[in-house]
Amino acid sequence: MIIELDMQSDVPIYTQLVHQIIEGIASGRLKPGEPLPSVRNLASDIGVNLHTVNKAYTLLKQDGYIQVHRQKGVVVHPEGMPPVTEDFLNKQLEELRPIVAEAICRGMTKDDLLKTVEHIYLKITQTRKE
C-alpha cells in the first residue's frame, strides 16, 4: 500500500496516516490479517518521526482496526472491523456537522451534498470489486 502524505496540510501527519490506513481497509486494498510495516520501517519509509507512526498505530489499535502482536508485528485486525457504536455515531456527527454547515453557507443544495457523499462511498467501495 502506498502512503501519500501532504506535509503542507493542516491535518497532522498521524491523522493522515490513520485516515489512509482506514481508507485502505475500506477499499479492500488492506485485507483482514494483512501485515503492516513495523513502526520503525514505516517511519523510515515515509520519512517521519517514530512517535508519529506510533501515535497513528496506537489510535488504530484502540479503535480495533489493527492488532499489534509482539511476535507477528502489526496486522489489520483479522476478526473484522469495529462495529457502529453510539460513540462512533456521535463522533461521526461531530465530524460531519462543520462540513455540512459550510456547504449550507456556500449555498450547496442538500441533493448536491448527498451526491458528493454517495460518490465518495461508491468510489471507495468500487476498488473492492476490481
Site residues (CB under 8 A) for its own copies?
Answer: 18-19, 22-23, 25-27, 65, 81-84, 88-89, 92-93, 95-108, 110, 113-114, 116-118, 120-122, 124-125
Whose Cβ is closer to its own copies: residue 40's or residue 128's?
128
Min dist. Cβ of residue 7 to its own copies (A): 15
Q: Contact, 128 vs 27, CB < 8 A? A: yes
Query: Which residue's CB is nearer to its own copies, number 11 or number 50?
Result: 11
* Identity of the residue, 46 or 113, whose beta carbon is nearer to its own copies in the bound complex: 113
Closest CA to 130 of 27, 23, 20: 27
Say whether 76 sits in a helix, a strand or coil.
strand
Question: Closest approach of Cβ 34 to its own copies, in Å?
Answer: 14
Residue 106 C-beta: closest distance to its own copies, Å: 5
Phi-psi region at 5: left, alpha or beta (left = phi > 0; alpha = psi -120 to 50):
beta
Closest approach, Cβ 118 to its own copies, in A, equals: 6
Q: Indicate if the alpha-carbon torsion angle 88, 65, 59, 114 is positive or negative.
A: negative
Based on CB atoms, which residue is closest to its own copies, 50 or 117? 117
Radius of gyration for the chain, computed over Cα atoms and rounded to the nearest angstrom = 16
Calpha distance 106→116 (Å, rounded): 15
